[in-house]
Amino acid sequence: MSEPQFQVGRVIRTDAKVCHVDFDGKVLQCAPRGKLFEVRGLQRNPIAVGDMVRVDMGGDPAAIEEVLPRRNRLGRLSSMHDPREQVLVANVDRLFIIGSLAKPKFSSNRTDRVLAACQWYSVPASLVLNKIDLDKNGDAASIRATYEALGVEVLETCAATGQGVDALRERLVGRVSAFYGGSGVGKSSLLNTLQPSLALKVGKISKFWDQGKHTTTHSQLIALDFGGWVIDTPGVRTFRLHRASPAELRGMFTEFARFQGACRFPDCSHDHEPECGVFAAVERGQIAPSRFASYIEMLDELRTAPAADVDAPADDGQEAGGEPE
């Protein structure tokens, strides 16, 4: 019996001209039809890792005809020169924000940016504090307190010893998950500890910068032998929101809600206004100063975001990963 001409598969990697598509364990390189680039609208890449696609198996190469409707996605502003949305991943059950406690130092700014985006795109998120073995100052406890207060689950791991890795594995079983974090925090190391057969390349810490080198260059969806999928994303340099208004940004910092009723102005931006309930809560220690600082930085950025009517560069912008760190 011959195979059906059209099959649905899962995109596990996107390169400049081809997508690697998984059909129940069999991976094929497929070429997107040109029409997909015509209807992408505000999105820079019509196909992202995690997308389910309908493929015409008849040609060589097989051709992607259609991207099936997404359950959800995580996107960001492509760059300061390109106002379109870059979709980083599609159809994910949970995003794990991976941070390290040292080498490199934990970045609340990076964490808060991604967490805000997860709120915006309705992607459930957890925080993983890796390199717990290097936490000589006991920073993990206060970071944990900050994020648990927002209702975000916090896991502590050490890829080197395997501490906390079973708890992480439990959360990955049977789901599509994504790992997001700066380069060098230990994403590939954690994946190798979760599943040693992966043998992903692990970066050497550069002594000069004391930061990780960029070794993962593409987002890729990895099949887990205990069931489920995980996307290893390369760190992107800066995570900026795509087309959010200041009012929408306020909503992404969920802990502000219970204090903004005390603001003198109902549309208070919590930036410079007198009698601001949110700023008062920061002063009383009820909102973490690091969170407020992240908010103010993102607010300033939205106010100077590139206009949507700026001509977009004419690249075909297909890689899902963004520019390297």
Ligand X SMILES: Nc1nc2c(ncn2[C@@H]2O[C@H](COP(=O)(O)OP(=O)(O)O)[C@@H](O)[C@H]2O)c(=O)[nH]1
For ligand X, the closer CB: 165 or 280: 165
Alpha-carbon distance of 4 to 140, in angstroms, equals: 53
The residues in 207-266 that bind Mg ion, with binding defined as CB under 5 A, are 216
Which of 182, 117, 127 lies closest to 151 in space, CA to CA? 127
Question: Binds 268, which of ligand X, Zn ion, Mg ion, none (CB < 5 to 8 A, cut-off by type)?
Answer: Zn ion
| Residue 202 in contact with ligand X, rule: CB under 6 A | yes
Q: In b/e form, how buried is each residue of 130-146, taking b as 16+ CB within 10 angstroms?
A: bbbeebeeeebeebbeb
For ligand X, the closer CB: 204 or 284: 204
| Residue 188 in contact with Mg ion, rule: CB under 5 A | yes
Q: Which two tokens stand for residue 9?
A: 């598969």
For ligand X, the closer CB: 26 or 207: 207
Contact 268, 262 (CB under 8 A): no
Question: Binds 278, which of Mg ion, ligand X, Zn ion, none (CB < 5 to 8 A, cut-off by type)?
Answer: Zn ion
For Mg ion, the closer CB: 111 or 220: 220
How would you classify residue 296: left for phi > 0, otherwise alpha for psi between -120 and 50, otherwise beta? alpha
Residues 6+ apart with CB under 8 A from 222: 12, 191, 198, 229, 230, 231, 232
The residues in 221-280 that bind ligand X, with binding defined as CB under 6 A, are none
For ligand X, the closer CB: 202 or 305: 202
The residues in 139-178 that bind ligand X, with binding defined as CB under 6 A, are 158-160
Using only C-alpha atoms, the chain has a radius of gyration, in whole angstroms, of 21
Contact segment (CB under 6 A) with ligand X among 108-116, 129-137, 242-250, 268-276 equals 129-137
Which of 6, 51, 164, 32 lies closest to 100 in space, CA to CA? 164
Q: DSSP 3-state assignment of 59?
A: coil
| Residue 294 in contact with Mg ion, rule: CB under 5 A | no
- What is the nearest approach in angstroms of Mg ion to the Cβ of residue 175? 21
Question: Binds 244, which of Zn ion, ligand X, Mg ion, none (CB < 5 to 8 A, cut-off by type)?
Answer: none
Question: Binds 164, which of ligand X, Zn ion, Mg ion, none (CB < 5 to 8 A, cut-off by type)?
Answer: none
For Zn ion, the closer CB: 176 or 268: 268
Q: Which of 53, 222, 276, 298 binds Zn ion (CB under 5 A)?
A: 276
Residue type, 234: P
Strand segments, DSSP code E, in the chain are 6-14, 19-23, 26-32, 52-56, 62-67, 73-79, 82-90, 94-100, 125-130, 153-156, 176-180, 205-206, 211-212, 220-223, 229-232
Question: Binds 276, which of Zn ion, Mg ion, ligand X, none (CB < 5 to 8 A, cut-off by type)?
Answer: Zn ion
Longest Cα separation, the chain: 75
Q: Which of 187, 240, 242, 270 binds ligand X (CB under 6 A)?
A: 187
Binding site for ligand X (CB under 6 A): 130-131, 133-134, 158-160, 181, 183-189, 202-205, 212, 215-216
